[in-house]
Amino acid sequence: MFLSLKRVVKTGFINFWRNGFVSTSSVVVMTITLFVMGSLIFVNEMLDSSLELLRDKVDINAYFVIDAPEESILAVQGTLEQLDEVETVVYTSREEAEARFRERHKDDEIEIQALDELGSNPLLASLSIKAKDPTHYERINEFLQSDPSTVSTDGVPIVAKVNFNENKAAIEKLEQWMKAIETFGMVLSGVLVAVSVIIVFNTIRMTIYISREEIAVMRLVGASDMYIRGPFVFSGIMSGIIAATVTLISFYPLSIWLGPSTQEFFGDFNLFIFYTQNFGRIFIIIMLTGVFLGAFSSFLAVKKYLRV
């Protein structure tokens, strides 16, 4: 068995170099395919980073009536923090809200003067609530409208307003973008793999056609199906490994060049940092995909067109 494997590898290696033009074509086609697939990984990460920034900006705020006791508001905060849907809850007192208002409008004398003329603080205490997932905001809104903790001892609601309906359009749009990006990535990956198999399949078919007489002789002397397929499958694997190596090497200078631009445009995402920190995962994905494309396409080409 070891001897047969050794002969298969040796024959596949010889065939790969002997059919240099066809082998080069296979490598080029797979390199382009793997490059596009690798780029798709980067694009998905950049979009995920952008969505994460948007997700951090989306929240809902519950505003409490002016005479709501602080201990009641803190009790609502404690109950919210125990919900599985809630990630963080930040309490802002009326005094803090006034201080922030004055800081935000410090250059607007009219706003400050209007606030001073009221003689009292009109701003409401609030809870800023961030959910673990945008789909959870409706459940949190229902809690704020119906939970007993949001009602005072005399039966009067202490929650004056929840801005869920005002933010609902932005939340729904974010959900749609997330689903669309996930679907797009899955569909595009599937299409790329299918197209790659077809292209590489037809390219490798040329190699098999060139070797048709040699295969016929091998069949006459009783060579097994696996022994005949083996060299072509190994040649396909070699093409995949070389294409994956070229792709990974080409990503390095490209990520250095695009790194500052991606960080400027996508916030905290730097393409070069992502590539170096996740090189092991990217290496495995690209290399295994290249090996799979080469081996699977070669196997299909031999089976279907030579009727081994």
Judgement on whether residues 182 and 250 belong to the same structural domain of the protein: yes
Judgement on whether residues 202 and 290 belong to the same structural domain of the protein: yes
Structural domain count, the chain: 2
Judgement on whether residues 10 and 48 belong to the same structural domain of the protein: yes
Report if residue 128 sits inside a domain. Answer: yes
Q: What is the mean pLDDT of residues 50-75?
A: 81
Report if residue 166 sits inside a domain. Answer: no
What distance in Å separates the CA atoms of residue 112 and residue 116, rounded to the nearest whole number?
Answer: 6
**DSSP state at residue 125:** P
Residue 4 to residues 11, 226, 308: CA-CA distances in angstroms? 10, 10, 18
Q: What is the mean pLDDT of residues 230-249?
A: 87
pTM for the predicted model, two decimal places: 0.65
Report if residue 135 sits inside a domain. Answer: yes
> What is the side-by-side strand order in the sheet with 159-162?
86-92, 126-131, 60-64, 159-162
Report if residue 59 sits inside a domain. Answer: no
Encode pLDDT of 264-289 as tens digits: 777 678 888 899 999 999 999 999 98
Report if residue 180 sits inside a domain. Answer: yes
For 127, phi then psi, to 5°, come to: -120, 125
Q: By the 8 A CB rule, do 64 and 125 touch?
A: yes
Q: Which residues constitute the domain of residue 100?
A: 66-157
Judgement on whether residues 143 and 103 belong to the same structural domain of the protein: yes
What are 262's two structure tokens?
């991606």
Q: Domain holding 86: CATH number? A: 3.30.70
Report if residue 168 sits inside a domain. Answer: no
Report if residue 141 sits inside a domain. Answer: yes
What distance in Å separates the CA atoms of residue 229 and residue 223, rounded to the nearest whole number?
Answer: 10
Encode pLDDT of 105-163 as tens digits: 788 778 778 777 877 888 889 999 988 887 788 888 888 887 776 666 566 778 888 88
Report if residue 266 sits inside a domain. Answer: yes
State what percent of residues in the chain have pLDDT above 70.
Answer: 79
Q: Which of 126, 157, 188 is the last residue of a domain?
A: 157
